[in-house]
Structure 1
Amino acid sequence: MKSSFASRPVLLMCLALLGPAIASAGQAEDDRLHAATDVLHQISEIPENAIPPELLANAYGIAVIPGVIKAGFVIGGRWGKGVIAVRQDSGWSNPSFITLAGGSIGWQIGAQSTDIILVFKTRRGVENLAASKVTLGADAAVAAGPVGRQASAATDAQMKAEIYSYSRSRGLFAGIALEGAVLQPDEEANAAAYGGNVSSWDVFDNRVFSTPPLAQKFRQALVQYAPPPTR
């Protein structure tokens, strides 16, 4: 049986096991934005195996973490860097940079890279993340999201979740269990991309010194694939 956790000592062991894979996952800000935008463009390619449009249209926030490394031998771990944007009255916000880390114990061997998308249904989960960090399953209820055109495929348990989690591999989206994984702001990346000492909410509210062109492209992709619901 597997059990998820986010305790610091064991998590450090997991990250040590990832070794060179973690180093290669350290993308520059522009590379991260470009990769995240590419993942969004994949959403519409296979509608029957994609995130339901209704779910995206009603999302408060969307996080994209491309190239998440999952590796381990008995003790496993995940590590990735991505971005998150929130829906404002004027449309989608600038993307703020984030990291994801987490581990699990169970019989596992090998390594793989996959893209992760998190769909935030409420403001609370984003507030926790922006303030410090959020542990999925502890600070915010998370469930593997439904796929296909109808969000009604979700179970009752899923509908109570604050966050839907997805993985994308070989062009297909599928729900993924991420209990125990930790999301937190990447303050160094935000400072490098937007200039100065800016918080996640500074980024969301456009209180920044400059905006990278690729951040605008990420926002445009969200407008295209996650427009507001039709009233």
Structure 2
Amino acid sequence: MKKFAAALCGTLLTLAPLVHASDNSKELERLQASEGVLNEIMATPDKSIPQSILASAYCVTVIPSYKKAAFVVGGQYGQGVTTCRTGHGWSAPVFVKLTGGSLGFQIGGQATDLVIIAMNQKGMQDMLKNKFKIGGDAAASAGPVGRNAQAGTDWKLNAELLTYSRSKGLFAGIDLEGAWFEQNSDDTRDFYGSAIPFETILKGNTPTPPSAHPFVATVAKYFVTAKASK
């Protein structure tokens, strides 16, 4: 009996990482998709996020395949990941949701990749909240695009958040006013194995899990490149 119990215990210990990996499959997929979105956007410098924006970024959120569908009443929903700049690099990621709605006589639907960048401490503090309204609780602007797009804009003065979208190969600033940005506590807890506060993670006090390194490293790479080009 003791040998059987020991063998069973050993089998469970062997399977535990596999079960954990399976449980995290949706979070891993989201991280990989977010990394891919950033790489694809930045592959064309003349139509990407300007270097001056990235060099000033406090936090970066990527929401791959944000869905908008409408039939008389429009609805919006997307899930993504956020990382923030700390004193020793970029933080481990947290999982977030973007939800909203719009009224109007609309028919149609589309899937859009979104990028939201916090441009100052206030924008970063908004992202540490449990939930906030874009354009209400946090001032937001459609972000400029391309090498020289920052010329003639007032984003440095007014925007806490800059918002971007990519749909059907086109990348441009987008107005997300009225959408709700909130923490996805369930997915963050599932990914880390415990309910670690968002602030603890985004302030750099939680090690980045190996599976999240590619996404965080991608954000860090573009930030460092932008800093070097200033």
- Same-fold call, TM cutoff 0.5: yes
Alpha-carbon deviation of 1:126?
2.7
Identity %: 41
Structure 2 unaligned residues grouped into runs of 5+: 1-24
Alpha-carbon deviation of 1:109?
1.0
TM-score normalized with structure 2 length: 0.82
Change (3 A) 1:94 1:59: same
The answer to whether structure 1 residue 122 and structure 2 residue 147 are counterparts is no
- 2:79 paired residue number: 81
Secondary structure of residue in 2 paired with 1:63: strand
Map 1:103-118 onto structure 2 (within 5 A): 103-118=101-116
CA distance in 2 between partners of 1:62 and 1:151 (Å): 19
Alpha-carbon deviation of 1:206?
4.4
CA-to-aligned-CA distance 1:62-121 (integer Å, 9 cap, x gap): 100001010011211110000111111111111111000011122321111010000110
Asked if the contact 1:114–1:167 (Cα under 8 Å) also holds between the matched residues in 2, the reply is yes
Map 1:3-22 onto structure 2 (within 5 A): none
Relative to structure 2, which stretch is displaced further, 79-88 or 212-221?
Answer: 212-221
Change (3 A) 1:104 1:153: farther
Alpha-carbon deviation of 1:152?
2.3
1:136 maps to amino acid: I
Alpha-carbon deviation of 1:214?
3.0
Alpha-carbon deviation of 1:196?
0.9
TM-score normalized with structure 1 length: 0.82
Map 1:22-37 onto structure 2 (within 5 A): 28-37=26-35
CA distance in 2 between partners of 1:211 and 1:60 (Å): 17
Correspondence for 1:220 among 213, 217, 222: 217
Asked if the contact 2:84–2:203 (Cα under 8 Å) also holds between the matched residues in 1, the reply is no
Alpha-carbon deviation of 1:134?
1.2
Alpha-carbon deviation of 1:211?
4.2
CA distance in 2 between partners of 1:154 and 1:220 (Å): 31
Correspondence for 1:56 among 54, 57, 65: 54
Query: Which protein has the larger Cα radius of gyration, Structure 1 or Structure 2?
Result: 2
Secondary structure of residue in 1 paired with 2:103: strand
Change (3 A) 1:151 1:105: same
- 1:6 paired residue number: none
Superposed CA RMSD: 1.9
CA distance in 2 between partners of 1:128 and 1:148 (Å): 26
- 2:5 paired residue number: none
CA distance in 2 between partners of 1:157 and 1:86 (Å): 19
- 1:135 paired residue number: 133
CA distance in 2 between partners of 1:193 and 1:107 (Å): 39
Structure 1 unaligned residues grouped into runs of 5+: 1-26
Change (3 A) 1:56 1:126: same
User: Number of paired residues?
Assistant: 204
CA distance in 1 between partners of 2:220 and 2:155 (Å): 29
